[in-house]
Amino acid sequence: MCCDGDDDDDKIDFSNIDFPESRLWIIIPSWEIIVKVSTFVPIILFGLAFNLIIIILVAKNKSLRTPTNLLIANMASADFLTLLIGPILFMIHDFYQNYELGAVGCRLEGFLEGAFLVTAVLNLSAISYDRLSSIVLPMYSKFKLNVKRTKIVMAITWMIGFSFAIPLAVFRKYKQRIWKNFVEKYCKENQNVLPEYWYVLISVLVWLPLCSMVISYTAIFIKLARYEKRSLKKENLKSVSYKKKVTRTMFIVVIVFIILRIPFTVLVIIRGKNLNNPTKAAKIDGYFEILWYTSHYLIFLNCAVNPLIYGLNNDNFKKAFEHTTFFPCFKRKKAGKSTIKTVPGFCCWSSKKKANLQLRKVRDSEDLQQTPKSIVRTTVVLQFETNVSVIEGHQFRYRRDENYTAQFNEFI
């Protein structure tokens, strides 16, 4: 996201001056490109996959649509977009000496990345607040997030994210400098506005979510500690085990966030101090470039691991993942003694139509005893239109809801 400024006098004519050959490199070496691409591809692929899984799970499972899970899905959406756009733009920026993204890229690069990252951390802060209000302040319902309030918060996070990133589009300008032997292209920042803005940005990207997590999780820890004392008097060891699990999770969340976000804060501080000091900047050029690459890489890595920390590490998400069909033509899973497998030919129209006809026969039967046993015992169609599965080895009782969704309850 960082883009170096330039304080040169635009009125100087460089067309009669050769660009210094010692500073001319055009593109980084091939081996360096291979190494950097190799480090980015895994986090891009896994990050996109994990975030997409979180989004699909919440979209397909109504039981997961709690305030916290909705915020996690909203954060996953922002992280997904960050990983879809950010690493590619960053690598193009990093590989070439010239700024190859052009005038549009100069305006949109920082704006889009900034908007998505701010949106994600605002959702992260909202998640911390939701956990705080649910565990520490359960009696104060007016402070708690319900589904309706959560949807409003989700929309607000996107509006604030894009609004907050507007300076990165307005105060950056694509420039070209014509040398005698080289055309220099760069994205120039407004040095009267953006240096201070970067400090505000890192406060939002790093210190706001970090403080919200520390405050919220400390309050939760204190609450659980008090509950533990009461539980120990009743010899309830389960609550002690639960407290250890929560404590371990909180510790991992905070430590991972600090490790992956603090380098970017250091980068912005060093860059801000040295923008107007070319001599000092030249002396730190080597490790500054390493810090520049590493800090951005860790930001993207954070977007990739968020779904693991906040979503797939949760038991409810794990259960939903086990029972959600992502690829209905190939999924096969064992559930206890019963076998759940894909209906052969589900991907073709005729089998799907046949399955819906079988479902209609069951749905139209007002009395379970009148339902053909071959349908009840052999073929049960679940979630028709989206997810057709055959469950063998059990008897099921049909219950029709007001939305005509097929629901079956197992009975002995």
The pLDDT tens digits for 291-345 are 999 999 999 999 999 999 888 777 888 888 888 776 554 444 444 444 444 434 3
The answer, yes or no, to whether residue 368 has pLDDT greater than 70, is no
Q: Taking all residues of the chain, what is their mean pLDDT, rounded to a whole number? A: 77
Q: Are residues 394 and 254 located together in one domain of the fold?
A: no
Q: Are residues 367 and 254 located together in one domain of the fold?
A: no
The answer, yes or no, to whether residue 378 has pLDDT greater than 70, is no
The answer, yes or no, to whether residue 182 has pLDDT greater than 80, is yes
Position 399 scores a pLDDT of: 37
Q: Are residues 56 and 31 located together in one domain of the fold?
A: yes
In the chain, the number of structural domains is 2
**Residue with the larger pLDDT of the pair 340 and 157:** 157
Q: Are residues 234 and 300 located together in one domain of the fold?
A: yes
Q: Give Dmax (Cα) for the chain.
A: 95
Domain presence at residue 4 = no
Position 169 scores a pLDDT of: 94
Position 351 scores a pLDDT of: 43
Position 274 scores a pLDDT of: 74
Domain boundary among 302, 323, 344: 323
Q: Are residues 306 and 404 located together in one domain of the fold?
A: no
Position 406 scores a pLDDT of: 33
11-25, 347-361, 379-393: segment of lowest average pLDDT? 379-393
SS3 269: helix
Domain boundary among 323, 354, 369: 323
The mean per-residue pLDDT over the stretch 10-19 comes to 81
The answer, yes or no, to whether residue 393 has pLDDT greater than 80, is no
Domain presence at residue 15 = no
Position 374 scores a pLDDT of: 42
Domain boundary among 288, 323, 358: 323
145-159, 174-188, 221-235: segment of lowest average pLDDT? 221-235
The answer, yes or no, to whether residue 112 has pLDDT greater than 90, is yes
43-47, 208-212, 242-246, 372-376: segment of lowest average pLDDT? 372-376
**Residue with the larger pLDDT of the pair 224 and 214:** 214
Q: Are residues 105 and 157 located together in one domain of the fold?
A: yes
Domain presence at residue 7 = no
Domain presence at residue 134 = yes
Residue 134's pLDDT band (boundaries 50, 70, 90)? confident
Residue type, 159: M
State the DSSP code for 141.
G
Domain presence at residue 404 = yes
The answer, yes or no, to whether residue 233 has pLDDT greater than 70, is no
Residue type, 146: N
Residue 227's pLDDT band (boundaries 50, 70, 90)? confident
pLDDT tens sequence across 87-102: 999 999 999 999 999 9
Domain presence at residue 11 = no
Q: Are residues 89 and 59 located together in one domain of the fold?
A: yes
Position 67 scores a pLDDT of: 92
Pairwise CA distance, residues 236 & 229, whole Å:
10
Give the CATH number of the domain where residue 68 resides: 1.20.1070.10
Domain presence at residue 1 = no
Q: Which residues of 90-123 are buried (b: 16+ CB within 10 A; e: fewer)?
A: bbebbeeeebebeeebbbbbbbbbbbbbbbbbbb
Position 407 scores a pLDDT of: 31
Q: Are residues 337 and 319 located together in one domain of the fold?
A: no
Position 155 scores a pLDDT of: 97
Q: Are residues 397 and 272 located together in one domain of the fold?
A: no
Percent of the chain at pLDDT > 70 equals 70
State the DSSP code for 239.
H
Position 332 scores a pLDDT of: 43
Q: Are residues 365 and 254 located together in one domain of the fold?
A: no
**8 A C-beta contact, residue 101 and residue 187:** yes
Q: Are residues 344 and 318 located together in one domain of the fold?
A: no
Structural tokens at position 87:
């690493």
Check the CA dihedral 123-125-129-135 and report its sign.
positive
Position 377 scores a pLDDT of: 38
Residue 187's pLDDT band (boundaries 50, 70, 90)? very high
Q: Are residues 287 and 391 located together in one domain of the fold?
A: no
Domain presence at residue 233 = yes
Structural tokens at position 289:
């470039």
For residue 241, the enclosing domain spans 21-323
**Nearest alpha carbon to residue 314 among 60, 43, 58, 74:** 58
